């Protein structure tokens, strides 16, 4: 089965002094989603942005905002990001005591819910969540910083999750984030990924290169 590949540039690699311009540029360059990495300096060793920035960016693109919450506790901030304009809200099961409740909360706000698996988090974590989520995000680096190298052991996990998703018969997106380049993108796609988060690989070379970068990541 041939799956259409979505590219979700991570604005973590954008020029933060001109984020609105950068979001408009990747939208015009043909990205599918806008990936927003939210880090709290506690759950992961970095601090990025909060709901106010998401709200400020929302008018700059009509593409889905794919918001990845690397924060703990997570539940108390879900509504803020939903209200700010997130379309997809993903979280780590380690970020709260009741992952299923977090999924329910996200969906109750009319948003799509995603679960994120760190490199050491097994696919089995999804056994009792897979029927309720809209997206599974496999981290192919340890979260917290952009520009890291792809951890190849995650390819086996992507393959395992693809089988789990196909077994459900549901349209669950399988996203991969971390070290995605023109070299690693085909590996992730071959393993079963249908959505690629790419920061450095999208934003390198400046706005004039964004369309070519996105096209190359798609396998063009």
42 located within any domain: yes
Q: What are phi and psi of 189, to 5 degrees?
A: -65, -45
Is 10 annotated in some ligand binding site?
A: yes
Q: Which are the contacts of 85, defined by CB distance < 8 A and separation ≥ 6?
A: 54, 55, 57, 58, 65
Mean pLDDT of all residues belonging to the chain: 96
E-only strand ranges, the chain? 6-9, 34-39, 65-70, 88-91, 112-117, 135-139, 173-177, 195-198
Q: What does the pLDDT look like over 58-87, one tens digit per residue?
A: 999 999 999 999 999 999 999 999 999 999
pLDDT of residue 166: 97
- Residues 184, 153 contacting (CB under 8 angstroms): no
Q: What total number of domains does the chain contain?
A: 1
Let me know: does 109 contact 75? Beta carbons within 8 Å.
no
**178 found inside a domain:** yes
Active site residue 177: yes
Q: Is residue 206 part of a domain?
A: yes
Q: Is residue 210 part of a domain?
A: yes
Asked if residue 1 has pLDDT above 60, the reply is no
The Cα diameter of the chain in Å comes to 45
Task: Give the least confident one: 22-31, 32-41, 111-120, 136-145.
Answer: 136-145
CATH code: domain of residue 102: 3.20.20.70
How far is Cα 36 from Cα 135, in angstroms, rounded to an integer? 15
Would the annotation count 208 as a binding residue? no
pLDDT over 70 (residue 203): yes
Provide the 10 A C-beta neighbour count for residue 2: 4
2 pLDDT higher than 70: no
pLDDT for 144 equals 83
Is the pTM higher than 0.75? The answer reads yes
Identify the active-site residue in 37, 40, 66, 194. 37
Catalytic residue (one of 40, 134, 177, 194): 177
| Structural domain boundaries enclosing 35 | 6-217
Report the C-alpha gap between 118 and 124 in whole angstroms: 12
- For 117-159, the pLDDT digits (tens) are 999 999 999 999 999 999 999 999 998 887 889 999 999 999 9
184 is in an annotated binding site: no
Mean pLDDT of 202-212: 97
Q: Tokens 């970020």 appear where? A: 95
Q: Are 119 and 139 in contact (CB under 8 A)?
A: yes
Q: Which residues contact 96 (CB under 8 A, 6 or more apart)?
A: 72, 73, 74, 75, 102
Is residue 178 marked as binding?
A: yes
Cα–Cα distance for residue pair 87/130, rounded to 1 Å: 19
Is residue 1, in this structure, part of any structural domain at all? no
Q: What pLDDT sits at residue 36?
A: 98
Is 220 annotated in some ligand binding site?
Answer: no
Predicted pLDDT of residue 169: 96
Residue 68 forms part of a structural domain: yes
134 assigned to active site: no
Residue 147 among known ligand-binding residues: yes
Q: Is 89 part of any domain?
A: yes
62 occurs within a structural domain: yes
């Amino acid at each position: 089965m041939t799956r259409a590949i979505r590219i979700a540039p991570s604005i973590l690699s954008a020029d933060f002094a001109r984020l609105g311009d950068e979001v408009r540029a990747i939208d015009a360059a043909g990205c599918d989603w806008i990936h927003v990495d939210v880090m709290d300096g506690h759950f992961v060793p970095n601090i990025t942005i909060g709901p106010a920035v998401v709200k400020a960016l929302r008018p700059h693109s009509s593409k889905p905002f794919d918001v990845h919450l690397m924060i703990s506790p997570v539940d108390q901030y879900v509504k803020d990001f939903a209200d700010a304009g997130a379309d997809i809200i993903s979280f780590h099961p380690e970020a709260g005591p009741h992952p299923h409740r977090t999924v329910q909360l996200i969906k109750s706000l009319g948003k799509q819910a995603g679960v994120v698996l760190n490199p050491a988090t097994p696919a089995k974590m999804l056994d009792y969540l897979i029927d309720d989520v809209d997206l599974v995000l496999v981290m192919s680096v340890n979260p917290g910083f952009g520009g890291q190298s792809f951890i190849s052991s995650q390819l086996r996990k992507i393959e395992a999750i693809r089988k789990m998703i196909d077994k459900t018969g549901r349209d669950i997106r399988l996203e991969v984030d971390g070290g995605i380049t023109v070299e690693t993108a085909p590996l992730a796609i071959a393993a079963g990924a249908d959505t690629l988060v790419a920061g450095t690989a999208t934003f390198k070379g400046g706005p004039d290169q964004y369309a070519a970068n996105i096209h190359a990541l798609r396998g063009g």
